[in-house]
Structure 1
Amino acid sequence: MRRILVESARAKNTLKRGGGQAHVFNVDIPDEVDIQDDLVALDAALTTLEHKDETMAQVVKLRYFSGLSIDQVAELLEISPRTVNRQWSAARAWLITQMR
């Protein structure tokens, strides 16, 4: 899912696909928010996080891209839900600082 979203965002940013032009969305999103740029920045930050802490990156992928709950991620990774919660909080904070 991550790869599909990121590649779609990159494709939409190319000139061939109308890159740089305003996109029309069916939902009410403020003009200053550019979803494609955010996905590309998230992908770059997540790739860096994978090199620093692979488990934390797995937690982000499972929570953000797969939509799993903390208990489901804990079961898949065979760690405690409390550890998943700590990793999720730390990863979100780290990703936010990296994407700015």
Structure 2
Amino acid sequence: ILFQSLHSLLSLSLSLSLSLSIMECHWPLILFLAVNLASVNHIGEAKECKFPAIFNFGDSNSDTGGLSAAFGQAGPPHGETFFHAPAGRYCDGRLVIDFIAQS
């Protein structure tokens, strides 16, 4: 995690086109920030969800059935392998949103 934080800070400083001389005088600050960012607990880690529903409006990681609504029912296997009944999806199993909802 420390390496990732330091890498992120260095990438940010490179993307902002900071000169080497500025980096040399601010390296203690960058090191301090990297250590502190690495020690911060991740937000939402190991917490129980306390909301009744998830609304997913579609993305590249999910198939909310919009294609089926627009172009008719998806052809086989359309979800039968996992759900054991047609689910109206173009995929044959669970999606990322299914795993998020289960957790």
- TM-score when normalising by structure 2: 0.27
Q: Radius of gyration: which is bigger?
A: 2
Q: Going by fraction, where is helix more abundant, 1 or 2?
A: 1
- TM-score when normalising by structure 1: 0.28
Q: Greater RCO between the two (CA within 8 Å, min separation 6)?
A: 1
